[in-house]
Chains A and B, each alone.
Chain A
Amino acid sequence: MRKTLTTIIALALVAGGVAACGNSDSGGDGKIVLGFSQVGAESGWRTANTKSIQDSAKEAGITLKFSDAQQKQENQIKAIRTFIQQKVDVIAFSPVVESGWDTVLKEAKAKKIPVILTDRAIDSKDTSLYKTFLGSDFVEEGRRSAQWLVKATEGSTDPVTIVELQGTTGSAPAIDRKEGFAEVIKADPKFQIIASQTGDFTRAKGKEVMQAFLKAHKDIDVLYAHNDDMALGAIQAIEEAGLKPGTDIKIISVDGVKDAFVAMTEGKINVVVECNPLLGPQLMDIVKKVVDGQETPQRIVTEEGVFTADQAAAALPNRKY
């Protein structure tokens, strides 16, 4: 028993030593060091986002310390604390959830390490906690989704029943996409959201929840999914119910991953509101500006489009993710 214990301690020491070696290369050679804490790898979108950041860091000659939070806030806070200890030049992260960041960001501020938010915002009264927020406007994405629907049902007064697959409860895209969508459809009482549940941004959950929706509600006209993966899962559920996705139930989705474009060319998704993950180059520019002490605006919005089924075939070959 004691022998086992000694072995474990020895192993732990070796592992610690390796980690320490990994740390010591930070700074030193004059390169900018960027600590980035990613949400996780929950969808194709996120993977494209990660890749864009990694590639553009290499191109820009910035040393990137990358950490995957596996969709847990505590991991992300841990990662940010590690970055602070390692004295990186800039910290950037996509917050898993909106709230609960004040303490750790104050620690960063005390050490004078600038923080950049990417892709998702935080809910804090103290805007001095971060330099800038680079990312999509999720509320606008919600509005665009709804605007397409308003246009598509123009001229008819028939009621339109909508089911909604929300993202991870409490996350910025889920809250904002819901809000933007509701804001636009509120204007016309013919639109009714009859069911709204979280599908955790995953295919499996999207399918499971959609199956339950289909059983509970017989007259669904429109599905609004907060991301493509949930929409793709829901499509399978709709097909198994003997209905035609895109025809019997119109599908609106957000993100614009390749699989969604494929589904759109097959007529299974009606419209995809793009949410651009390729913000690496923009991020690296901002990092350099922040290190040089230049002023940056508090909010930088990425460029995005809306794709309908008839544009899908033309756009498909250009999709990188």
Chain B
Amino acid sequence: MITWTRHRLFWPVMLLVLLLLSNLFFTPDFFSIQMKQGHLYGSLIDILHFGAPLILVSLGMTLVIATGGIDLSVGAVVSISGALACWTISQQSDQGSLGVVVMAVALSLGVTALLGAWNGLLVAGAGIQPIIATLILMVAGRGVAQLITDGQIITVNSSPYKVIGGGYLATLPFSILLVAIVVAATALLTRRTALGLLLESVGGNAEASRLVGIRSRGLIAMTYIVAGLCAGVAGLMISSNVSSADGNNAGLWIELDAILAVVIGGTSLLGGRFSLTGTVIGALIIQTLSTTIYTIGVPPETTLVVKAIVVMIVCLAQSPSFRAKVFRRPGFAPPAARPGEPGPDAAPAGPADPTETKAEVPA
């Protein structure tokens, strides 16, 4: 039991479960999942469905943050991606044709990968600080999206496009399956190959990594491209879910939600250590919080305060140093004081120790 609570992800998972359970007081059948019109229907499915874009964006963000960087431009990339795809489709006479949609999706993803490469170039090539380098695209990108949409909301009527963010496959929302595949692929690539270790090494010390023969710059640039692509797919999902592209509001502030998800998941903003599972849980906590607020009927005027309080609690609870301070009050016997048991308890900084992470089951 003690080793359980010492797992790095114990607190985030606990908080997610608590948040979900708190819904039971207000909606007793919160956990019920039914079949409706040939697909699964329920609040849990909604959380996954609407959380899918955030999970994707956070996933890309995790890799960038693992290298010690940050990508503020993902929100803008989300809106560009959706705008470009919807614009391409709306220009065609046959919006419903599969070829058109494939072309639009390919175009969007190509452009978002390029935008990611641009960020990578600025950070790894020109050596500009990540927060500044990506700020450029964050500000300019939304303008680009509005140029594409001409300031309008582009409505498309294309059933193949609708599938990406609003369709169903094997009773599950297609976006959930897509995210599951991307998460699994990223986990495999980073944890079953040396890639994850190399990323952490670059995040720990880029110069030292370069000296031992790791291509730091290439790796850093790659993470920005992946982040761009993830944001691109998320943009497709968001616009496809409502069959329209909104250059102004799509993905607004999603970069901040993504950074929060990464932090809740226990990835250090300083780089050098990351947890994909943690990020997924972090993103789910954020989406669950939104859904909970809608279902329990918090007045809109106070929504942000409620969110802030929950986020604060989540962040504090998952901070090992904060827990150590609180639980080491006088009157509490510190665990290390037990005689004759040197064991793992002897190291008080245990859970925060980066060396522990490598022993963990990959994502």
Contact = CB atoms under 8 A, between A and B. Distances in A.
A215 B27 contact: yes
Contacts of B250: 204
Q: Could you say which interface size class chain A belongs to? A: 35 or more
**Listed residue (A43, A44, A211, A232) with the most chain B CB atoms within 10 angstroms of its CB:** A211
A206 to B, nearest CB: 8
Nearest to A70: B248
Contacts of B153: 43-44, 47, 203, 229
Contact of A212 (B43, B299, B301): B43
A169 interface: yes
Given A166-B300, A207-B242, A50 B151 contact: yes
Interface in B176-235: none
Contacts of A240: 36-37, 41, 166
A141 B159 CA distance: 35
Contacts of A232: 242
Interface string B152-171: 11010000000000100000
Q: Could you say which interface size class chain B belongs to? A: 35 or more
Contacts of A40: 248
Contacts of B295: 212, 215-216
Interface stretch (A55-63, A107-115, A152-160, A192-200): A192-200
Nearest to A178: B300
Contacts of B327: none
A47 B244 CA distance: 15
A1 B126 CA distance: 9
Given A44-B153, A197-B293, A216-B294, 7 more contacts: A41-B247, A70-B142, A71-B248, A166-B300, A204-B250, A212-B43, A216-B295
24 contacts: A40-B248, A41-B247, A41-B248, A42-B246, A42-B249, A44-B152, A44-B153, A47-B153, A166-B300, A170-B301, A196-B299, A197-B293, A197-B297, A198-B303, A204-B241, A204-B249, A208-B50, A208-B290, A209-B294, A211-B46, A212-B43, A232-B242, A242-B36, A242-B37
The 8 closest A-B pairs by CB, nearest first: A212-B294, A198-B300, A216-B295, A203-B242, A41-B151, A242-B36, A169-B300, A215-B43
Interface of A: 1, 4, 40-44, 47, 50, 70-71, 166, 169-170, 195-198, 200, 202-204, 207-209, 211-213, 215-216, 229, 232-233, 236, 240-242, 259
